[in-house]
Amino acid sequence: MNPSVSDYKLLALDVDGTLVRNGDVSRVAESAMPLWLMALRELGLDTTLATGRHIHSSVVQTLIRLLQIQAPLVTLNGAEVWRPNGELLARHPVPTAAVRGLERLVTEEKVPCLGFTVTGMVPREDFPSAFRYQPTQGWLKFVLFPESKASGEGLRQRLAAEVGLEVSSSAEDNIEVTQAGVHKASGLAVVCHALCIAPEQVIAMGDGENDLPMLRSVGLGFRVIPPL
Tell me: pLDDT of 6 over 90: no
pLDDT at residue 211, as a whole number: 97
**What average pLDDT does range 179-198 have in this prediction?**
98
Average pLDDT over residues 197-226: 94
| Highest mean pLDDT pick, 34-38, 129-133, 160-164 | 34-38
Q: Which of 28, 23, 87 is nearest to 55 (CA)?
A: 87
Domains of the chain: 5-91+183-223 (3.40.50.1000), 96-179 (3.30.1240.10)
Mean pLDDT score across all residues of the chain? 93
Looking at residue 2, its pLDDT comes to: 65
Q: String of b and e for 46-60 (b: at least 16 CB within 10 Å)?
A: bbbbbbbbbbebebb
Q: Using omega within 30 degrees of 0 as the cis cutoff, is the peptide bond preceding 128 cis?
A: yes
pLDDT digits (tens, 9 = 90+) for 91-124: 999 999 999 999 999 999 999 999 999 999 999 9
pLDDT at 226: 66
What is the pTM assigned to this prediction?
0.94
Digit-coded pLDDT (tens) for 52-93:
999 999 999 999 999 999 999 999 999 999 999 999 999 999
pLDDT score of 4 more than 90:
no
| pLDDT confidence of residue 149 | 85
What are the pLDDT digits (tens) for 132-151?
887 778 899 999 999 988 88
Helix/strand/coil for 1: coil
Average pLDDT on 25-37 reads 92
Rounded Cα distance between 211 and 123, Å, is 24
Helices (H) and strands (E) in the chain, counts: 7, 12
pLDDT on residue 228: 39
